[in-house]
Amino acid sequence: MSDKNWNILQGDALTILQSFPNGTFDAVITDPPYASGGRTQSEKNRSTASKYSNMGNNAPPAFDGDAKDQRSWTRWCAEWLAEARRASKPGAPVCMFIDWRQLPAATDALQWAGWIWRGTAVWDKGNSRPQKGRFRQQSEYIVWGSNGDMPISRPVPCLPGVFKYGNPQKRIHLTEKPLQLMRDVVKITEAGGHILDPFAGSGTTILGAVLEGYEATGIELSETYAQIARDRIEQGLSEES
């Protein structure tokens, strides 16, 4: 199910985060539920399979936690981000994926939790649905910061502010990120560090981290996706070896 370099824990992120000792992790890199897939609360309350997929019965499994109103979502994010910061070492980076609707709330929650907000990077998906007379919604964002001071002399590469990768084909999670994107993003962490993903989904961040030489711990609420993540990581590591 896991080895010494990675682990997927199944359960509620906020509960499990409270079990980690202070200063356990070298980075927090995650893609939480956005709770933003609709203009109204009734639209947000729809199943994630209908909000984020047009594949019908062939869509990947739905997931919970995506129907909060904005105030509840912001409060919830502030709580798990605070626990994640407590469990992180001084200077640890945090990277949180988000879309345009929740971008302001995400930056508020990050700062309320005590992280220093240091910027916003862009994931340019390219392949978005065109809308006549409107700008394409082809970007998602990475709100990032640090647990206190982050010396410019840290031994990490200079990372781009824009990552250009199309959405994964044959997704196994409704909001899956490209593996190469996550392999790039985890490099904000110093070599050999231990990365935490409180919302592991299908395990892309964990797999990307291990492939880049890091240790990684993921938390996933869904039993279905926790097992999907374990299987996917084992398969990915087997293919790489």
pLDDT: which is higher, 145 or 45: 145
State both tokens at 11: 């359960």
Name the nearest CA neighbour of 29 among 221, 220, 195: 195
Roughly what angle, to the nearest 10 degrees, separates helices 204-211 and 223-240?
30
Domain that holds residue 174: 6-240
Q: pLDDT tens, 178-196?
A: 999 999 999 999 999 999 9
DSSP at 158: P
In the chain, % helix, strand, coil (3-state, to 5) comes to: 35, 20, 45
Look up tokens 């200079």; give the residue. Answer: 158
Q: Which amino acid is at 206?
A: I
CA–CA separation, 93 and 73 (whole Å) = 22
pLDDT of 127 above 80: no
Q: CB of 205 within 8 A of CB of 27?
A: no
Please count the structural domains in the chain. Answer: 1
Q: pLDDT tens, 61-80?
A: 766 666 788 899 999 999 99
Domain with 16 in it: what CATH number? 3.40.50.150
- Compute the Cα dihedral for 231, 235, 236, 237 and give only its sign: positive
Residue 1 maps to a domain: no
pTM of the predicted model as reported, rounded to 2 decimal places: 0.88
